[in-house]
Copies of this chain bind each other. A is one copy, B any other.
Amino acid sequence: MKETFSLPSRPPNQTRGTAAPGRTPGPTALAAKVRTMAPSMTRSMQRVAEAVAGDPAGCAQLTVTGLAERTGTSEATVVRTSRLLGYPGYRDLRLALAGLAAQQESGAAPAVTADIAVDDPIGEVVAKLALDEQQTLADTAAGLDTAQVEAAVMALTAARRIDVYGVGASGLVAQDLAQKLLRIGLVAHTHADPHLAVTNAVQLRAGDVAVAITHSGRTVDVIEPLRVAFDRGATTLAITGRPEGEIAQYADHVLTTSTARESELRPAAMSSRTSQLLVVDCLFIGVAQRTYETAAPALSASYEALAHRHSPRPRAR
């Protein structure tokens, strides 16, 4: 039942199905996982996933048959949903559910934070926003496939040249990544103009790395250059909230960001950005670790170079 994912070989780039990034997700990641996967689920499966995410404690008590009944579906569907969430079967999902319930009970509760209302006072907004973003970070960390990160870091470290694609809000994340990598001596660029991005992607070849950042996984302006890079033989990475989206077809390594629930006052852009930045930071640190000899001097050099752009310290202490 090995899911021989990734690996060097390019051709059998599995499309979708069975997720299962190597190991069963821990209880913590479950809620996040449900949100991530929900869009790619069928109606019945969504009902099951919803029930599970909404009342872990209650569902943990139910047998397959019970849960099927409660959700008005069949046992088969329940098992299918369990699979999709990354467990070998319902039995294991149930175990994770019990774990989640226990955690929530004990106060380590990832309990759902309240939506921000139009008339919330500003203090409340600050608190809710901070909490939401903290939750997003936790979800992202829990949902990240370490092996994929590792592979991505390796590719970046060895890259002759790195291109980063992103538009809109993701464009800023792309710039952040490129900026960081440049700072430690890598050759990284980002292209805001999608036409130029494609033009540049054509230049890539094996040994180069292309990174695409899109929350929806369906942004054509980002998919196109990645596809081109993929076809040219470059190693391709996708940072997306929809690992089953079209972008994944052209990505050697997919780094999944968390999908928080949106609300009218809190567009998805906000938490997806937080999530993407965490991934970017992880990549950066990973690369910096592996190129420490050159990265450290490069970092301080760039810092020194900017020193004169700062006004003198008020008082030397």
Contact = CB atoms under 8 A, between A and B. Distances in A.
Interface of A: 2, 5, 7, 26-28, 40, 42-43, 58, 60-61, 66, 94-96, 98-103, 105-108, 116, 118-120, 122-123, 125-127, 129-130, 133-134, 137-138, 140-141, 144, 146, 149-150, 153, 167-169, 172, 175-176, 179-180, 216, 218-221, 223, 244-246, 264-267, 269-270, 273-274, 277-278, 281-282, 285-286, 288-289, 292, 296, 299, 306, 309-311, 313-314, 317
25 contacts: A7-B66, A26-B102, A94-B95, A98-B98, A99-B101, A99-B103, A102-B103, A106-B108, A118-B292, A120-B289, A122-B286, A125-B289, A126-B278, A126-B282, A130-B141, A133-B137, A137-B137, A172-B176, A172-B179, A220-B309, A220-B311, A246-B314, A265-B285, A265-B289, A274-B274
Closest A-B pairs by Cβ, 6 of them: A99-B102, A130-B141, A95-B98, A98-B98, A218-B310, A106-B108
Contacts of A107: 108
A150 B312 CA distance: 32
Contact of A130 (B100, B103, B138, B219): B138
Contacts of A269: 180
A59 to B, nearest CB: 11
Contacts of A176: 169, 172, 273
A25 to B, nearest CB: 12
